[in-house]
Amino acid sequence: MTANPFIQQAIDLNVGELSKEGALLVKTGASTGRSTKERFVVKHPEIEQDINWGSVNQPVTPEFGETFFSRLEEKLSHQKLYIKEAFVGCFRVRVRSTSPWHIAFAENMFRETVVEQLKTQVPDDVLIDILHDPYGQVSELRIEHPYQKAIVLDAKKLKVGIVGTAYAGEIKKSAFTLCNFLFPKYGIFPMHASANCKEDGSAASVLFGLSGTGKTTLSADPKRYLVGDDEIVWSKSGISNLEGGCYAKLINLSKDAEPDIYRAANKPGSILENVVFDRESKEVDFFDGSITENTRGSYSIESLDKVFDQNKEASRPNSVVFLTADAFGALPALARLDEWQARYHFISGYTAKVAGTEIGVTEPEATFSACFGAPFMPRSPKVYAELLANYIREYNVPVWLLNTGWTGGGYGEGERFPISVSRSLLESIQSGDLENVEMERHPIFGFSVPKMIDGIDQKYLTIPNNEAVLELARRFQANAQSLGDCLTDEIKDRGGPIIAH
């Protein structure tokens, strides 16, 4: 018997089994990551102007939403349901699912308590209601729809319906998407970011970054305390974690390289999705990506060693860092951004994918995701960028661009910045040691680049001067054009790269 009744019920139903070290091992079937083309938002007239409609937020009519939710509710009323009520940020959340292990996931990911300082800034009668039918099909609801799975969000009624996908991340990300819709109404800035601080909550630092940029690794600094590794909220009184757990990507997880995460992911109560393991010994092979490269582990944040008190707010950040893994050898290791450049690069959300990071990627690809998390930020990127600008201006917070990608040439030619160099640069940012260093202006991107930093080999601080710089600037400009009025002409003119014609 396990201590968690939902995990035990998953084992009894033969939908999960325990690893050698006691974590629950589950498979999610065909859906091993988030569904994108099957995700929809109900287009109520009252909120039509508040949603950034498009391929990320695909609209469905209020009539479709009403039918979808009522028939899903009716269907689930005839099945055994497992239920969890908790908090996401300071909002109540309820998950009702036909699957017990998904409720164990919700127990890991959502909060049991709220941060009191944050609670006073929003209404206390908000409930995000999630209906979860992972092993069902849309056709069972007797509605016309092009797909057999669907994730439907109703930002007016604060409902989520998830049908036909067992990938647990849909629960987490749907709840956070609705939170990220709500918070700007109250002048609160939700961030798809990690954050850490000193033990007493001071000297907080926020790290934005897409997958592969080092967001989780760099925030897990042995000298600092983790606030959260994925969903952070910044209010007038400070920053806090929206979630109660971590949902870590586990491919190539090493006990030696990341002992804290390894220990947390493997302990009883944790859930390992789509990992390969030995059928006899139940030993997990984290280096085997044959099921998916997107193997995942869900565990309580309290499973980690150095975690800031989750019932408190850390201080307002004294640094904001945009992480990028530039694969073209075009960006310097570090640059300081002014307010307009911060808006531009925040809305751009740039990194690069390299071979092996995703199926089908054979050459480096520039990737842009607005606000470093477009799928989870349902309002226009301008809204979130304005909140960022207001906060960094009001509290005089420096914003840095930290490149964890390639130097001395692009992928396959140069070398990747050593993690020790990235850590040292981040430590210099967080300590304030860079406030008085001499800077030079980047000739294309216009941001300020440190000329010399104590303890950093000068070869890592060289500003690249090659065709790749111009090509990357053109990619930025093309992406800016694709965003339409989400990126204003003023932000492009004052914060974007300049290419002489």
Catalytic residue among 111, 192, 475, 492: 192
Q: Which helix (H) or strand (E) holds 194?
A: strand 189-197
Q: Is residue 168's pLDDT more than 80? A: yes
Partners of 448 in beta bridges: 336, 441
Residue pair 109/171 in contact (Cβ under 8 Å)? The answer is: yes
Question: What per-residue confidence (pLDDT) applies to 257?
Answer: 84
Confidence bin at 1 (pLDDT 50/70/90):
low
Residue pair 237/119 in contact (Cβ under 8 Å)? The answer is: no
Q: Is residue 316's pLDDT more than 60? A: yes
Q: Which helix (H) or strand (E) holds 320?
A: strand 319-324
Least reliable range by pLDDT among 53-62, 197-206, 347-356: 347-356
As a whole number of angstroms, the distance between CA 219 and CA 207 comes to 7
SS3 state of residue 130 = strand
Question: What per-residue confidence (pLDDT) applies to 357?
Answer: 46
Residue 33 region, left (φ>0) first, then alpha (ψ -120 to 50), else beta?
beta
- Residues 290-294, mean pLDDT to the nearest whole number: 93
Q: Is residue 362's pLDDT more than 80? A: no
Q: Is residue 427's pLDDT more than 70? A: yes
Structural domains of the chain, ranges and CATH numbers in brackets: 5-186 (3.40.449.10), 248-302 (2.170.8.10), 319-495 (3.90.228.20)
- Residues 359-374, mean pLDDT to the nearest whole number: 82
Which of 433, 466, 465 shows the shortest CA–CA distance to 450? 433
Q: Determine whether 185 is an active site residue.
A: no
Q: Mean pLDDT for the chain?
A: 94
Q: What percent of the chain has pLDDT above 90?
A: 90
Residue pair 320/392 in contact (Cβ under 8 Å)? The answer is: yes
- Residues 196-200, mean pLDDT to the nearest whole number: 97
Q: Would you give the DSSP letter of residue 322?
A: E
Question: What per-residue confidence (pLDDT) applies to 499?
Answer: 81
Partners of 132 in beta bridges: 97, 162
As a whole number of angstroms, the distance between CA 353 and CA 286 comes to 21
Catalytic residue among 19, 28, 31, 34: 34
As a whole number of angstroms, the distance between CA 400 and CA 341 comes to 10
Q: Are strands 334-337 and 399-403 parallel, antiparallel or unpaired?
A: antiparallel
Dump the DSSP string for 443-466.
Answer: TTT--EEES--TTS-GGGGPPP-S
**CA distance readout (Å), 343 to 53, 214, 243, 300, 385:** 21, 21, 26, 33, 6
Collect all residues with Cβ–Cβ distance below 8 Å to 466 and sequence separation of at least 6: 329, 330
Q: Determine whether 216 is an active site residue.
A: yes
Q: Determine whether 336 is an active site residue.
A: no
Question: What per-residue confidence (pLDDT) applies to 501?
Answer: 47
Q: Determine whether 192 is an active site residue.
A: yes
Q: Determine whether 34 is an active site residue.
A: yes
Catalytic residue among 2, 35, 67, 211: 211
Q: What one-letter code names the amino acid at 42?
A: V
Catalytic residue among 216, 300, 404, 422: 216
Other beta carbons within 10 Å of 102: 28
pTM of the model: 0.94
Residue pair 37/149 in contact (Cβ under 8 Å)? The answer is: no
As a whole number of angstroms, the distance between CA 5 and CA 3 comes to 6
SS3 state of residue 439 = strand
Q: Is residue 358's pLDDT more than 60? A: no
pLDDT in tens, 438-478: 999 999 999 999 999 999 999 999 999 899 999 999 999 99
Question: What per-residue confidence (pLDDT) applies to 500?
Answer: 58
Residue bearing tokens 């269907």 = 75
Residue pair 397/320 in contact (Cβ under 8 Å)? The answer is: yes
- Tokens, residue 201: 């909550």
Which of 181, 167, 180 shows the shortest CA–CA distance to 132? 167
Residue pair 334/312 in contact (Cβ under 8 Å)? The answer is: no
Go through the chain and tell me how many residues it has: 501
Catalytic residue among 28, 230, 298, 422: 230
Q: Is residue 359's pLDDT more than 80? A: no
- Residues 280-297, mean pLDDT to the nearest whole number: 95
Partners of 319 in beta bridges: 205
Catalytic residue among 102, 173, 442, 492: 173
As a whole number of angstroms, the distance between CA 347 and CA 368 comes to 9
Burial 272-281 (b: 16+ CB within 10 A, else e): bbbbbbeeee
Q: Would you give the DSSP letter of residue 291?
A: S
SS (H, E, C) 215-258: HHHHHCCCCCEEEECCEEEEECCEEEECCCEEEEECCCCCCCCC
- Tokens, residue 427: 């430590």
SS3 state of residue 128 = strand
Q: Determine whether 353 is an active site residue.
A: no
Give counts: helices (H), strands (E), the chain: 12, 28
Q: Determine whether 501 is an active site residue.
A: no
As a whole number of angstroms, the distance between CA 234 and CA 256 comes to 34
- Residues 190-213, mean pLDDT to the nearest whole number: 95
Question: What per-residue confidence (pLDDT) applies to 356?
Answer: 45
Confidence bin at 353 (pLDDT 50/70/90):
confident
pLDDT in tens, 83-124: 999 999 999 999 999 999 999 999 999 999 999 889 999 999
Q: Determine whether 441 is an active site residue.
A: no
pLDDT in tens, 401-412: 999 999 999 998
Catalytic residue among 39, 215, 353, 379: 215
